[in-house]
Structure 1
């Protein structure tokens, strides 16, 4: 997660939504051109395969869905909950799921997130969230950060870096 800074402007929500949609298209095009074997290769010891990176993005989508819904259901401040990313990927065993199923799940979750964002009342964007170290941020910033996180990992999947 990027570090929140109140002095750095959060991009407009429409920009984050466009970024999310672009990443959905980019990864779908790339993923559909790869074999199960290509997407299953571990690039090195202790590193995730492309399938596992996409699994991490599924976990991230689940957690961000919960954050957005939480802002709609309860008054602020909200507290970000940590989760052990490696453990989630290990327990879900994304490596042994069909590639098409992983892509369909990730795409569906992000389509749902975009649907939620489209319907957010503007005042909820300023709902306060406390980061893991207790610093205040907003739902708007979290959505923007989620789009950047997605972009980072989609680039990683496509370029194998």
Structure 2
């Protein structure tokens, strides 16, 4: 999991060093109806951290396979009112939450990365796959926030 942790730390550093180059207005700008602003994308990443943190913990506590329940991403973003939250607060929450996830992933017990997790459609993956998918999702959205080409 060291490779995944390294990628998470790199993303934390990248967004923390770059987000301040945007004004609050730029971060709140909604490009089109039904699309998220940069602040809302960051909020979505907070929601993703919350849901995945729960999955990473429960995969170690519950009998295999952990059944992964989906969540309504648009409603989470809307109800959390990220658009009205100062970007600095969103960045701090996202950063601290992901530092905790890094600690959790780096301290998994031996063999935990092979624990089975199953989506509601029956698709089965390992905890390692879930962590890898989490980082890939984050890479996509961090690059989207910073207007960089996706990795």
TM-score, structure 1 normalization: 0.89
Indicate whether 1:43 and 2:31 are aligned: yes
Indicate whether 1:115 and 2:103 are aligned: yes
Segments of 5+ residues of structure 2 without an aligned counterpart are none
The whole-number CA distance in structure 2 between the counterparts of 1:90 and 1:53 is 11
TM-score, structure 2 normalization: 0.95
Segments of 5+ residues of structure 1 without an aligned counterpart are 1-12
For 1:105, the equivalent position in structure 2 comes to 93
The 4+ residue runs of structure 1 with deviation greater than 6 A are none
For 1:14, the equivalent position in structure 2 comes to 2
107-116 or 24-33, which deviates more:
24-33
* Count of matched residue pairs: 149
Q: Which of 63, 72, 79 in structure 2 is aligned with 1:75?
A: 63
The whole-number CA distance in structure 2 between the counterparts of 1:40 and 1:128 is 39
Report deviation, 1:33: 1.9
Indicate whether 1:65 and 2:65 are aligned: no
Whether the aligned pair in 1 keeps the contact of 2:112 and 2:127 (CA below 8 Å) is: yes
The whole-number CA distance in structure 1 between the counterparts of 2:30 and 2:100 is 30
